């Protein structure tokens, strides 16, 4: 099996690479690249993302044909894709971090700043929070409800169709922390930084 972690200068992806290599060992070939042919010929794709919504979308668009290749992979060919953090947020139609920015539009919805209730809640939402699994997802095999995952974000994805939401977490409100729509998966939290349970989620994705 060939799994590509998309390297599009979206910030620090070392931890994503390390965690996938740890789980994959020698049975899965992990490629880290933005090469369009390698992406479209992969069995699975991981789309990480750090920094702002705008900086990630800009970085995607800077690589000629990358958005189209990812869309072909996930939408036309319906192969499994996992978005992490801003990688998940970019599934949306539109994001409002820095300035209004068009997303990939794969899962209809928008990305807004978390309501900090006039400073009652610190932002970014940093640390370990529990996930409330509201829909069984393939990536949650052997993951118990209320498991702790590691979060770092100030913006949240608000999908129009609530049926895509597989888990939420409680911070100011019920924040969407994972989605599953057919072959498209996303986590707002960082499985690569969520210790053994996070590695379990990565393993689940590799085993889809």
Partner 1 sequence: MLKNRIIPCLDVKNGRVVKGINFVNLKDAGDPVEQAKIYSDGGADEICFLDITASNENRDTIYDVVERTSKKCFVPLTVGGGVRSIDDINKLLNCGADKVSINTAAVENPKVVIDSSKKFGSQCIVVAIDAKKNGNKWEIFTHGGRNNSGLDALEYAKKMEDNGAGELLVTSMDRDGTQIGYDVDLMSKISSKVNIPLIASGGVGNLDHLVDGIKLGNASAVLAASIFHYGKHSIQEAKEYLDSKGIPVRI
Q: How far is CA 120 from CA 20, 45, 131, 154, 204, in A?
A: 36, 38, 21, 14, 36
Provide the 3-class DSSP secondary structure of residue 151: strand
Chain position carrying tokens 């085993």:
207
Phi, psi of 78 (to 5 degrees): 50, 45
Which is catalytic among the residues 97, 156, 180, 192?
Answer: 192
CB closer to partner 1, 108 vs 130? 130
What CA–CA distance (Å, rounded) separates 185 from 166? 9
Smallest distance, Å, CB 20 to partner 1? 11
Which is catalytic among the residues 31, 56, 85, 144?
Answer: 85
Strand 184-187 and strand 81-84: pairing?
Answer: parallel
Smallest distance, Å, CB 87 to partner 1? 13
What CA–CA distance (Å, rounded) separates 56 from 29? 25
Q: Catalytic: 141?
A: no
Q: Does 99 contact partner 1 by CB under 8 A?
A: no
Q: Does 52 contact partner 1 by CB under 8 A?
A: yes
| DSSP tag of 91 | T
Look at residues 164, 163, 161, 166 and name the one whose alpha carbon lies nearest to residue 135.
166
Chain position carrying tokens 């499994």:
80
| DSSP tag of 104 | -
Smallest distance, Å, CB 126 to partner 1? 5
Candidates 41, 77, 100, 128; binder of partner 1 (CB under 8 A) is 128
Q: Does 187 contact partner 1 by CB under 8 A?
A: no
Candidates 1, 2, 18, 65; binder of partner 1 (CB under 8 A) is 18
What CA–CA distance (Å, rounded) separates 50 from 41? 25
Smallest distance, Å, CB 89 to partner 1? 12
Interface of this chain with partner 1, residues 132 to 151, rule: CB under 8 A: 148, 150-151
Q: Does 112 contact partner 1 by CB under 8 A?
A: no
Candidates 122, 136, 145, 173; binder of partner 1 (CB under 8 A) is 122
Look at residues 95, 96, 91 and name the one whose alpha carbon lies nearest to residue 107.
91
Smallest distance, Å, CB 178 to partner 1? 17
- Which residues make up the interface to partner 1 (CB under 8 A)? 11-12, 14-15, 18-19, 21-22, 50-52, 55, 116, 119, 122-130, 148, 150-154, 170-171, 192-196, 198-199
Active site residues: 85, 190, 192
């Amino acid at each position: 099996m060939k799994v590509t972690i998309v390297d599009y200068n979206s910030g620090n992806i070392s931890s994503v690479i390390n965690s996938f290599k740890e789980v994959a060992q020698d049975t899965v070939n992990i490629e880290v690249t933005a090469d369009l042919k390698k992406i479209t010929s992969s069995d699975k794709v991981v789309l990480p993302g750090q920094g702002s919504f705008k900086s990630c979308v800009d970085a995607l668009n800077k690589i000629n044909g990358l958005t189209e290749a990812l869309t072909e992979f996930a939408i036309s060919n319906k192969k499994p894709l996992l978005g992490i953090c801003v990688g998940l947020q970019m599934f949306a139609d539109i994001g409002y971090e820095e300035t209004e920015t068009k997303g990939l539009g794969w899962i209809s919805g928008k990305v807004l700043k978390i309501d900090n209730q006039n400073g009652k809640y610190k932002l970014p939402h940093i640390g370990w929070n529990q996930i409330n699994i509201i829909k069984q997802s393939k990536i949650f095999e052997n993951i118990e409800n209320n498991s702790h995952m590691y979060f770092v974000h100030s913006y949240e994805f608000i999908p129009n169709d609530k049926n895509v939401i597989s888990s939420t977490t409680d911070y100011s409100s019920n924040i969407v922390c994972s989605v599953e729509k057919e072959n498209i998966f996303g986590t707002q939290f960082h499985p690569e930084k969520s210790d053994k349970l996070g590695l379990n989620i990565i393993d689940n994705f590799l085993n889809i």
